[in-house]
């Protein structure tokens, strides 16, 4: 089974601020895991380390059984590109690109796509998956917040990653769109993707297979 695994991971900032304290944690393929906690509890740091966007001070991170501390920067970048997809609170869509072009962006550094036509076909498939076919030629400014986040989810799926990591994905949305985004993420876990969501939104509890609580850098199962 494909997994993201943290073993006894700690993260210190400025040598004395402990963001993560001896955290051991696993996300499995096909599992929706929610990590909840107040701002500053360490949950975003956890996601960044699990997603290889940051490194730990001590402990080990394994992606699909591979110890990432033993890998060079190029290999780490390759894992991020092909194995991990990211969704953030701020949608980070390029305002000058149409929806399908935004979704194509991660494919531009993936040599598995031979040409633009292949990339556009993949983008069109993903747009349909998240229910945005009627918005495919629109710019982000022409979309609602919920539609922008769905476009961001489609972009995260561009290279068919094993895992989706979402950091407060509903933080900028109203309650109706919150539910819609959690439903989209649940569909991904049901399809076999591992989904890790860090959030303070209690609505995620209705969708997660497992709920963990982060407090003062310490993780516990709910």
- The domain spans of the chain are 3-221
CATH topology of domain 3-221: Rossmann fold (3.40.50)
Q: Name the packing angle between helices 116-129 and 145-156 (round to 10°).
A: 130
Confidence (pLDDT) at 146:
95
| Average pLDDT score over the chain | 95
Distance between CA atoms of residues 61 and 51, nearest Å: 10
Name the percent of the chain lying above pLDDT 90: 91
> Model confidence over 77-125: pLDDT tens digits?
999 999 999 999 999 999 999 999 999 999 999 989 989 999 999 999 9
Distance between CA atoms of residues 48 and 59, nearest Å: 15
Using pLDDT thresholds of 50, 70 and 90, give the confidence band for residue 14: confident
Mean pLDDT of 59-87: 94
Mean pLDDT of 13-42: 93
pLDDT greater than 80 at residue 222: no
Tell me the pairing of strands 3-13 and 17-28. antiparallel
Asked whether 25 and 196 are in contact (CB, 8 A), the reply is no
Using pLDDT thresholds of 50, 70 and 90, give the confidence band for residue 40: confident
Confidence (pLDDT) at 39:
87
Confidence (pLDDT) at 16:
82
Cβ neighbours of residue 92 closer than 8 Å, sequence gap 6 or more: 152
Distance between CA atoms of residues 51 and 195, nearest Å: 12
Mean pLDDT of 186-208: 96
Asked whether 186 and 10 are in contact (CB, 8 A), the reply is no
Phi–psi pair at 87, nearest 5 degrees = -130, 130
Using pLDDT thresholds of 50, 70 and 90, give the confidence band for residue 168: very high
Asked whether 33 and 24 are in contact (CB, 8 A), the reply is no
């Amino acid at each position: 089974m494909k997994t993201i695994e943290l073993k006894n991971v700690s993260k210190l900032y400025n040598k004395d601020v402990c963001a993560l304290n001896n955290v051991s944690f696993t996300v499995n393929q096909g599992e929706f895991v929610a990590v909840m906690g107040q701002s500053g509890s360490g949950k975003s740091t956890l996601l960044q380390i699990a997603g290889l966007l940051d490194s730990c001070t001590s402990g080990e991170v394994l992606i699909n059984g591979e110890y990432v501390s033993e890998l060079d920067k190029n290999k780490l970048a390759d894992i991020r590109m092909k194995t991990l997809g990211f969704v953030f609170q701020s949608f980070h869509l390029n305002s000058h690109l149409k929806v399908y072009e935004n979704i194509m962006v991660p494919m531009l550094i993936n040599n598995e796509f031979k040409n633009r036509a292949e990339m556009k076909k993949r983008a069109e498939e993903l747009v349909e998956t998240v229910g945005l076919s009627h918005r495919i030629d629109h710019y982000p400014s022409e979309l609602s917040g919920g539609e922008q986040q769905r476009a961001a989810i489609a972009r995260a799926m561009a290279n068919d990653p094993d895992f989706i990591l979402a950091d407060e994905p509903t933080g900028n949305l109203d309650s109706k769109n919150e539910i819609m985004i959690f439903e989209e993420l649940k569909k991904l876990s049901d399809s076999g993707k591992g989904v890790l969501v860090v959030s303070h939104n209690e609505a995620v509890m209705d969708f997660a297979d497992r709920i963990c609580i982060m407090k003062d850098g310490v993780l516990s199962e709910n």
